[in-house]
Amino acid sequence: MKICFATHNPNKLKEVGQILGEGFELIGLNELGENEELPENQKTLEGNSREKAEYIYKKYGIDCFADDTGLEVYALDGEPGVYSARYAGPGKHSRDNIALLLENLKDKENKSAQFRTVITLIKKGRVYQFEGVVTGIIIDAPRGKDGFGYDPVFIPKGFDQTFAEMSLGQKNEISHRGLAIEKLAGFLKRKIKKN
């Protein structure tokens, strides 16, 4: 099954391709020749993921899915949330975002947080949404070299490593995106069996 993941991020494509497995030809926006930043004008993860998926579906007529992910920190009333990628400004630099997050958390006792991913799939014009959530804590300094975004400062509940210290396989088994993609993959595989 050929399907587009509406992202320019090669890390995300690799992560998601590994979870979907065989039977899927996953293409990204670069393969479509789509070089523009996709619209993200909504105030929720659900709204942003749907807006991006609808943009690609309407423009190219290809079955596609888009995700939006936010880090929601309890002591910061859910920030950075929907603004996670541009928390420190429009440049979307992970290092700056992490620095601002740690600065805002330095006087807070509760470092609990959750990563939440919402995926919107548009298949033959119909819209479906899937969610994945993983809870954990924010640590005081980055650790690890893998992953991206806030991975170096997030330790999932029940573990002592940050996402950035885990292998891609380990992270996929427990991550918010992994959980949402597993739901998406299960849905798509059931659709294939029916046809």
Tell me: the pLDDT tens digits for 133-185?
A: 999 999 999 999 887 899 999 999 999 999 999 988 888 889 898 899 989 98
Element (H, E) at 119: strand 112-123
Cβ-contact 97, 79 below 8 angstroms: no
Question: What's the residue count for the chain?
Answer: 195
Question: Regarding the domain delimited by 2-194, which CATH topology (the fold level of the hierarchy) does it fall under?
Answer: Maf protein (3.90.950)
| 89 three-state secondary structure | coil
pTM, 2 dp: 0.87
Going by C-alpha positions, the residue among 7, 102, 91 that lies closest to residue 49 is 7
Alpha-carbon distance of 17 to 12, in angstroms, equals 8
Q: Which ranges in the chain belong to alpha helices (H)?
A: 10-20, 29-32, 45-60, 94-105, 168-174, 176-194
Active-site residue, from 63, 67, 68, 151: 68
Strands 25-27 and 2-5: parallel
Q: Among this protein's residues, is 146 annotated catalytic? A: no
pLDDT (tens digit per residue) in 40-61: 899 999 999 999 999 999 999 9
pLDDT (tens digit per residue) in 135-148: 999 999 999 988 78
The total of other beta-carbon atoms located within 10 Å of residue 46's CB is: 16
Residue 103 confidence (pLDDT) above 70? yes
